[in-house]
């Protein structure tokens, strides 16, 4: 399946990458490498990730406290949010409905 990002999710991903890079050079690159690996898993089998609410699912990063919130469409996986773990998941529900 094809994986797409909404503009909001892309902005959140870039903000997270930039924040990590500012904390320690190279960390932003590791964050994006992990994102790409997670996106590949989403493309291969998006149903392996749990449903959070309605048709909204969450895929968590392994080494960073972030999650991708997404929905499965006929031929694509649409990522609509990239949230820091402690953030309120109800914010993702706003995007996902």
Per-residue pLDDT of the chain (97 residues; tens, 9 = 90+): 999 999 999 999 999 999 999 999 999 999 999 999 999 999 999 999 999 999 999 999 999 999 999 999 989 999 999 999 765 445 444 444 4
Q: State the pTM of this model.
A: 0.84
pLDDT in the model for residue 87 = 53
| Short-list 64, 59, 53, CA closest to 90 | 53
pLDDT in the model for residue 28 = 96
pLDDT in the model for residue 94 = 45
Locate the domains of the chain by residue range: 2-96
Superfamily name and number for 2-96: RelE-like (3.30.2310.20)
pLDDT in the model for residue 33 = 97
Helices (H), the chain: 7-23, 27-44, 90-96
């Amino acid at each position: 399946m094809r994986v797409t990002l909404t503009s909001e999710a892309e902005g959140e991903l870039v903000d997270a990458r930039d924040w990590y890079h500012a904390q320690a050079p190279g960390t932003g690159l590791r964050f994006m490498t992990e994102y790409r690996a997670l996106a590949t898993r989403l493309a291969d089998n998006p149903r392996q990730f749990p449903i959070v609410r309605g048709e909204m699912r969450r895929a968590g990063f392994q080494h960073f406290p972030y999650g991708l919130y997404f929905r499965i469409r006929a031929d694509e996986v649409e990522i609509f949010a990239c949230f820091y773990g402690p953030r309120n998941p109800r914010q993702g529900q706003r995007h996902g409905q």
